[in-house]
Amino acid sequence: MPKIKVALVGVGNCASAFVQGLQYYSNYGKEEDSIGLRHLSLGGFHPRDIQIVAAFDIDGRKVGKDLSEAIFAEPNNAPKLFNVSSSNVNVCKGPTLDGVGEYTKNIVQISNQPETNVANILTECDVEIVLNLLPSGAVKASHWYAEQALSAECAFLNATPSFIASDPTWTKRFEKADLPLVGDDLIDQVGATALHKTLLKLLSMHGVRITETYQLDVGGGTESLDTLERTRDVKRTVKTKSVETALPYKADVVAGSMDYVDFLQNRRDSYFWIRGLYFCNVPMQIDLKLSTIDGPNAGSVLFDVIRAVKMALDRKLKGAVMPICAYGFKHPPQLIPLETAEEMFIDFITEKV
């Protein structure tokens, strides 16, 4: 198969797990052996067909380094699962814009190297897909990289919660440029929101009347600190709306409230509390804790979405590609129930639509 040429924007924890995963799964031959992946082969593409050909960051501990080294540089704290072979891709410096917030300014060390010409590098490296893994508060920087993707005629995959694929202005611009766009805010493989919705749905299907529920997250990656300062309210609105759709009636729902606990490193603890009434109005309650590590939680969905975007490019699709947005992202252009999104994605990758 031809390689899928990807540029990484932001070499943080998510990128670290993603790059390690590319090496980890490259030699897997059988679908049934590939623990941790939804699809070893998708659209005829194996994970080894994904090739990172360019990478951009601003931190002096990453810029100028081979990607295999940069992914383990501080302040990244995603687990190092094994050594990664040299990639021959050096991390280039991009503009900082709003990449660093008040809370992270003492954590990110901005490189003093000159900025590179991002659109030129994307063109020279034949990049097909720009993968946006910038901090969630870096809205201007995310928009700037979407502009670079348009200039260099690349598809854009927005894993961040900045609204791009769900913003009709951007969608129209990618449509006009004959390029696919997917986003926003990647869904985790073991996602707190998906788990919360599934639990509520199950209880409600069984006749339980949920009265109140909340979901609270604590994490220790740089991204959690940035979220605390700049995107907590947006994330809370997006997650609360999404969780509310799991119930056919109105209940008191709060989801996406969070805090930063530095010693957790890249780990995340999600707490769920659900109260409801069942037979004869007898009360029931659930208290639950889910522990995950953020970086690896994005890998499997990224593998699927990147290969699906390559299929969209091959099919000359343009603008927001709904089956991919609905399957892989928390804030697609339209909110679609989980099961419908799954069906749409399967139809898309099996070429039924």
Ligand X SMILES: NC(=O)c1ccc[n+]([C@@H]2O[C@H](COP(=O)([O-])OP(=O)(O)OC[C@H]3O[C@@H](n4cnc5c(N)ncnc54)[C@H](O)[C@@H]3O)[C@@H](O)[C@H]2O)c1
Strand order in the sheet with 252-260: 252-260, 209-219, 267-278, 282-293
CB 59 within 8 A of CB 94: no
Shortest Cβ 302–ligand X spacing (Å): 9
Interface mask toward ligand X for 85-124; x: CB under 6 A: ---------xxxx-x--------x----------------
- Closer Cβ to ligand X, 214 or 329, answer by number: 329
The DSSP annotation for 182-209 comes to E-SSBPPTT-HHHHHHHHHHHHHHTT-E
Shortest Cβ 208–ligand X spacing (Å): 30
Chain residues 26-45 in contact with ligand X, contact rule CB under 6 A: none
Shortest Cβ 305–ligand X spacing (Å): 11
Residue 276 neighbours by CB under 8 Å, 6+ apart: 203, 208, 209, 210, 211, 283, 284, 285
CB 197 within 8 A of CB 242: yes
- Closer Cβ to ligand X, 108 or 155, answer by number: 108
Which of 122, 223, 312, 338 binds ligand X (CB under 6 A)? It is 223
Shortest Cβ 142–ligand X spacing (Å): 8
Q: Which residues pair with 210 in a beta bridge?
A: 276
Which of 134, 192, 305, 324 binds ligand X (CB under 6 A)? It is 134
Q: What residue type is 22 in one-letter code?
A: L
Residue range at the interface with ligand X (CB under 6 A); choices 20-28, 185-193, 238-246, 317-325 = 185-193
- Closer Cβ to ligand X, 137 or 276, answer by number: 137
- Closer Cβ to ligand X, 167 or 185, answer by number: 185
Residue range at the interface with ligand X (CB under 6 A); choices 25-33, 129-137, 198-206, 312-320 = 129-137
Size of the site for ligand X (CB under 6 A): 36
Shortest Cβ 297–ligand X spacing (Å): 4
Q: CA-based diameter of the chain, in Å?
A: 69
Q: Is 88 left (phi over 0), alpha (psi -120 to 50) or beta?
A: left
Residue range at the interface with ligand X (CB under 6 A); choices 28-36, 135-143, 198-206, 306-314 = 135-143
Angle at alpha carbon of residue 181, lines to 88 and 24, rounded to 5°: 40
Does 21 participate in binding ligand X (rule CB under 6 A)?
Answer: no
Does 138 participate in binding ligand X (rule CB under 6 A)?
Answer: yes
Which of 127, 159, 238, 255 binds ligand X (CB under 6 A)? It is 159
Shortest Cβ 160–ligand X spacing (Å): 3
Nearest to 298 by CA among 20, 36, 42, 17: 17
Does 295 participate in binding ligand X (rule CB under 6 A)?
Answer: yes
Which of 43, 47, 101, 135 binds ligand X (CB under 6 A)? It is 135
Does 221 participate in binding ligand X (rule CB under 6 A)?
Answer: yes
CB 87 within 8 A of CB 22: no
CB 248 within 8 A of CB 204: yes
Nearest to 305 by CA among 133, 162, 87: 133
- Closer Cβ to ligand X, 56 or 163, answer by number: 56
Q: How is residue 230 annotated by DSSP?
A: I
Does 185 participate in binding ligand X (rule CB under 6 A)?
Answer: yes
As given in the structure block, the two tokens for residue 226 are 């940035």
